[in-house]
Amino acid sequence: MRFMDSMRGERWVKDQKKLVHQKQRIENELDLSPTGKAREAKSAGIKIFQIDLPINKPKGDTALIGALKRRNPQDYRNVIKSIEEEGWRFDHVSCVYCITDNAIKGKILSSGQEETRSNEIFGSFIFRES
């Protein structure tokens, strides 16, 4: 019986350690999230909070067929809502188009070149203290 009790005790300790580790991991992820950054800025006494988030990653090339392949844009309604719940008021957003990669390939059997670009659209979200 004592052996079984000690096994249960060890199992309980392992489960508790696992729960503590999961809680720490969740807290670390929250600190890195937009909401966590907003909370940190608020506690630091900052009056204006800015966060840059990727909005869309279209992929384009110069070929006549399939010149622009669109990907679904990110939906940040819940992010904005959670930041506002931290005591911020959404004020403004501006977007910037950035070329992140550019590849040019020469054609072997025909003349010309083929160019492929990877792009990203970033949104710079501005919040004011509410």
pLDDT of residue 69: 55
Helix (H, G, I), strand (E, B) or coil at 106: strand
pLDDT of residue 64: 45
| Rounded Cα distance, 83 and 48, in Å | 12
| Rounded Cα distance, 91 and 130, in Å | 10
Contact predicate 125/89, CB 8 Å: no
- Written as one string, the DSSP assignment of 73-104 is PP--HHHHHHHHTTTEEEEEEEEEEEEEEEEE
Contact predicate 74/53, CB 8 Å: yes
Contact predicate 86/39, CB 8 Å: yes
Contact predicate 27/39, CB 8 Å: no
pTM (two decimals): 0.59
Q: Profile the chain (130 residues) by mean pLDDT over runs of 10 residues.
A: 63 78 65 86 93 78 49 79 94 88 70 73 92
| Rounded Cα distance, 130 and 128, in Å | 6
Please list the residues that pair with 25 across neighbouring strands: none
